Chain A
Amino acid sequence: MIVQVLLVLAALGALVYFVRLAHNVHIRASKRIAFFGFIVVNIYAVLRPDDMTWIAQQIGVGRGTDLVVYLLVVAFVFGMLNTYLRQREISNHLTDLARTVALRDAELTNRDRGLVTEPQSAQTQSSGSRD
């Protein structure tokens, strides 16, 4: 049963890493609970594979291995979606940041080029005289 020892060690390693990491990274409580639950189920499934088969048969899946694979697929897709949404959020922040920097630089650049004279003077007058 060397494989069981290795798998349990890997799960515990992930747990330790996660706990140490969580101090530095902002992670929502619900995700922490989900991760702890995942580790517990993981270790349980490694130590008692027959129980997984029993659960699988109760819900109409042939073998415990199949059940684990199906759950893995769902978890993978969910994780991918989560990453995608997070990445887009970061990209939106980056856009706002880059835009702010660009607009601030542009004020200086275009003033140096003589396109923006005293802020709000020349052009306001011209538009005021027309209206």
Chain B
Amino acid sequence: MANDDTWVIIPVYNEVTVIAQVVADLHTTFRNIVCVDDGSTDGSAAQIATTAAHLVRHPINLGQGAALQTGLCYALARPGGRFFVTFDADGQHRVADAGRMVDAARSGFADVVLGSRFLDQHEGRPHRVPLLKRITLGLVVALSPVGRKLHLTDAHNGLRVFNRTVAGQLRIRMNGMAHASELVSLLARSSWTVRELPVTIRYTEYSTSKGQPLINGINILFDLAVRDQK
């Protein structure tokens, strides 16, 4: 199978109804999948155990950032990984988009490929981002000077591809949702090439109910304001 050199990392927290299907969809394209169960209380881990994905279980709930870092550590310890994909567990990303981004990374398009749900706007393709979501995410990008420096259009997209060099040097310290902004500022300070590719987000009722509400944006800004610089 192609993509043997690629690891997909899925942070999972209470996604029992969808996680098995998400893994099954991914498995048509990617052989190496690791699900990091972040202390779920709804039997997500048992669901993952029925799939072909590797399972790593946090003994307690630590947050999405911590789960991503754990998944990266696990995948990096396996031999043969050259590209590392982060993928949301709620089924909002499309496997085809992930495949396209990995192909781009493999062709040397960039060291880091980030998915953007806003990029396709400029190409006139239809997109459906709820208004409140657009305002929240636009605000985060506008308030993030480093995000502007990289000319990013979407700072909080869970679909990302890192090559091995970058993945090996990532140290996500923000355990909660602020890890996305932490990643962006880390990438901006690095010498790696960072590019965005347009992706489509499926805003199902399920994924919308689990998304980040506006108030969370304020929490994220607070976390980033008081973090220690490392």
Select which of A84, A94, A110, A130 is within 8 A of B5 by beta carbon. A130
Which among B53-61, B130-138, B150-158 touches the partner chain?
A: B53-61
In whole angstroms, what is the CA distance A69 to B93 when docked? 55
The answer on a CB contact under 8 Å between A115 and B74 is no
List which B18-49 residues lie within 8 A (CB) of chain A.
Answer: 36, 49
The answer on a CB contact under 8 Å between A123 and B56 is no
The answer on a CB contact under 8 Å between B60 and A127 is no
CB proximity of B127 to chain A, nearest CB, Å = 36
Closest to A106 in B: B56
Q: Is A4 an interface residue when CB atoms closer than 8 A count as contact?
A: no
CB-CB under 8 A from A116, the residues of chain B are 54, 78
- Assign chain B's interface to a size class: 20 to 34
Could you tell me the dominant secondary structure of chain A's interface residues? Answer: helix
CB proximity of B8 to chain A, nearest CB, Å = 14
Select which of A91, A106, A123, A126 is within 8 A of B57 by beta carbon. A106
The answer on a CB contact under 8 Å between A124 and B80 is yes
Which among B62-70, B140-148, B200-208 touches the partner chain?
A: B62-70
The answer on a CB contact under 8 Å between A103 and B77 is yes
CB proximity of A112 to chain B, nearest CB, Å = 10
In whole angstroms, what is the CA distance A95 to B74 when docked? 15
The answer on a CB contact under 8 Å between A103 and B56 is yes
In whole angstroms, what is the CA distance A116 to B66 when docked? 23
Closest to B175 in A: A95
Chain A residues engaging chain B, CB cutoff 8 angstroms: 84, 88, 91-92, 94-95, 98-99, 101-103, 105-106, 109-110, 113, 115-116, 120, 123-124, 126-127, 130
